[in-house]
Amino acid sequence: MAVGPMAARTPQAPVESLGAIRRHRAELLEAIQSFERALAVAAADPAWRPGVARQLARLRAAFADHVGVTEGAGGLYAGILDDAPRLAHEVDVLVREHADIRATLEALAERVDTEPERLRAWANDVLREMSRHRQRGADLIYEAYTTDIGGEN
């Protein structure tokens, strides 16, 4: 291992930040899973639509928190861009996805009275995109804080 000012370094995310991010990811995942469970209830059940609406509101709030934690001043993406500016494009992609997912969740909330099968189809589409987004976010964190390509200080 090289020592001195020319040594390659891997940026280190603050441990407390990563702990908060892990907790936040777990909360978002729980909101996603609760929404999935609400969708899976029989649509003929009188509690189906109110349950879906309630869990969708919870999911929208959790996703808004996610956007705040990642995009906010001093948020995850700002730290990544400071530590690994080579990942700017990946951060931009995730930020654009935030806008798309937020708009889709909003549209879904406006259509909660739609026929159950149509609502479920739309919900499943956004849930798949959220899953892909979460994976891309995990990949970004891994790339930023565990890959040592050297030369960045």
Q: What is the per-residue pLDDT for 13?
A: 53
Does the pLDDT at position 117 exceed 80?
A: yes
Position 5 in a domain = no
Task: For residue 49, tell me if it sits in a domain.
Answer: yes
**Residue 75 burial class via C-beta count within 10 angstroms: exposed 0-12, middle 13-18, buried 19 and up:** middle
Indicate whether 147 pLDDT > 80. no
Q: What domain range includes position 29?
A: 15-144
Q: Which residue is it, tokens 């956007």? A: 67
List pLDDT tens digits, range 1-52. Answer: 444 443 344 455 554 567 778 888 999 999 999 999 999 999 999 999 999 9
Tell me the whole-structure pTM to 2 decimals.
Answer: 0.84
Q: How many domains does the chain have?
A: 1
